[in-house]
Structure 1
Amino acid sequence: MGVGRPVKRVAVLVAGGLLLVVGVALLVLPGPGLLLVLAGLLVLASEFPALERYVDPVRDRAMKAAEDSVASPLRIAGSVAAGLLLIAAGVVWGVVDSLPMSGWSTGSSLVLSGLVLLALLVWSYRRTRRPTSR
């Protein structure tokens, strides 16, 4: 076993763990929680095969949630509004010094959350609106 193997294993553990933790947080916060939980599990399963048994059930639920998130114009509008609100809040937190935990460390994480939400919303929309070939 070379030196690169443990480094890769730690990198996969950190990246997958981070995706998983953020995904779990987004299960109760606005955002694509199940999709990030799925991404975290997929990353972790690449180095820890015992986790593969959890991938399919989470994938099924995540894809159903992705479909549900774009099932109606009202849901799409709500998700877009939440993403734009997160981005705007991030800019405000980055600029206004009198807010609690103000600064660009907080602001940039809010902006990034909004961008991830919007990107996953576009992905969900394109995935569900793709014509099926039979």
Structure 2
Amino acid sequence: MIICVDFDGTIVSSDREYTDVETPLEFLHGAKEGLQSLKAADHVIVIYSARANRALRIDPNLDPLVRAGLRRLDHEWWESNKDLNEARYQQMVEFCKTALDGIVDVVDDGQQGKPCAGLFIDDRAMRFRFGDWLRISRMYGEKHG
């Protein structure tokens, strides 16, 4: 099975400043062993992370929310942060090459969009089963009363 795994907060600790690309990344407890177990079971491991977001690294107009007018494009912010965002992406790629060599099959480069996969593992995910819209709307929908 193809398994997409998020990076920050799922494989490595996200307990660091966004701008910190110097401090070595640290595995979350059990992450490396868990990935090794999945790989040993012959699964294909894809790192699928927001760090690969090409709208942050290459062209802000790649963001569909910007194109739809739902997110304001701040060119000054983008210009001042694009190198940082590229450095964060490269930090992830290098970590996967060194600390996860032979375990990770591919690191998403942000070109494809959401990969076709049998499973997504992500610290920000919500499992959707059997028409869970009522539960989701109670948690995140409009509040009445």
> Structure 1 or 2: larger helix share?
1
Question: Does 1 or 2 have the higher relative contact order (CA < 8 Å, sep 6+)?
Answer: 2
TM score, norm. by length of structure 2: 0.30
> Structure 1 or 2: larger strand share?
2
TM score, norm. by length of structure 1: 0.32
